[in-house]
């Protein structure tokens, strides 16, 4: 199945629109700032840094499950939605699950290299939420590289949230494209170690 790139493209009126472009293999997400309506950040040469979204702001140990008992794509997604229900982040399982599965019908979120990022928007959440699961056995996710997945990261956002939703997808894609980070998470013995791997990666990136 053909992967796509999600791009926030500036328009002449200063707002942005989301445009999808086909790609040959994996998912890449690029965010462009419109001419107005977004804050200006001074250059790093001036001693400032633009603050990136941190995944550690939206993930915690209780939202990480190892191993997942699921054996199929739908079971894995449902198990992660159940996890977010148990933490109080999702108020309506059927609504949240339906949103993610409906999104999955349009295009696979198995982006290659053993990673899937199922996501959706639902009235069942009041903020951007995230859950991580690692199945005991690799799962067929109909990935773009036709290989099974070893790591599943679920994202859910409110219906009216676009910018942070796309930013979170971009952050996950960016960090998981780093071989050392992905391997550390895939080999981590527990939720604490997965969280630490993400923290270490984001701290290293911030200090670069």
As a whole number, the mean pLDDT across the chain is 84
Q: Is 192 exposed, middle or buried (0-12, 13-18, 19+ CB in 10 A)?
A: exposed
Which active-site residues does the annotation give? 119
Q: Which helix (H) or strand (E) holds 95?
A: helix 93-106
In the predicted structure, residue 199 carries a pLDDT above the cut 90: yes
User: pLDDT for 134-161, tens place per residue?
Assistant: 999 999 999 999 999 999 999 999 999 9
In the predicted structure, residue 168 carries a pLDDT above the cut 60: yes
User: pLDDT for 92-139, tens place per residue?
Assistant: 999 999 999 999 999 999 999 999 999 999 999 999 999 999 999 999
Topology at the third CATH level for domain 56-206: Mannitol-specific EII; Chain A (3.40.930)
Domain boundaries, the chain: 3-38, 56-206
Confidence of residue 204 (pLDDT cuts 50, 70, 90): very high
130 pairs with which residues across the strands? 155
């Amino acid at each position: 199945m053909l992967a796509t790139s999600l791009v926030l493209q500036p328009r002449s009126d200063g707002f942005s629109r989301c445009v999808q472009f086909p790609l040959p293999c994996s998912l890449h997400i690029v965010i462009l700032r419109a001419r107005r309506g977004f804050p200006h950040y001074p250059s790093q040469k001036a001693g400032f840094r633009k603050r990136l979204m941190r995944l550690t702001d939206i993930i915690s140990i209780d939202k990480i499950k190892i191993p997942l008992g699921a054996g199929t794509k739908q079971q894995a997604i449902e198990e992660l939605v159940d996890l977010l229900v148990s933490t109080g982040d999702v108020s309506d399982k059927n609504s949240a699950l339906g949103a993610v599965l409906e999104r999955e019908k349009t295009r696979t979120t198995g982006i290659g290299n053993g990673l899937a990022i199922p996501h959706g928007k639902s009235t069942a959440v009041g903020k951007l939420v995230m859950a991580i699961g690692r199945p005991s056995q690799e799962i067929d996710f109909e990935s773009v590289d036709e290989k099974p997945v070893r790591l599943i990261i679920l994202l859910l956002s409110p219906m009216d949230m676009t910018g942070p939703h796309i930013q979170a997808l971009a952050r996950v894609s960016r960090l998981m494209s780093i071989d050392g980070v992905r391997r550390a998470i895939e080999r981590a013995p527990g939720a604490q170690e997965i969280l630490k791997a993400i923290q270490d990666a984001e701290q290293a990136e911030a200090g670069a």
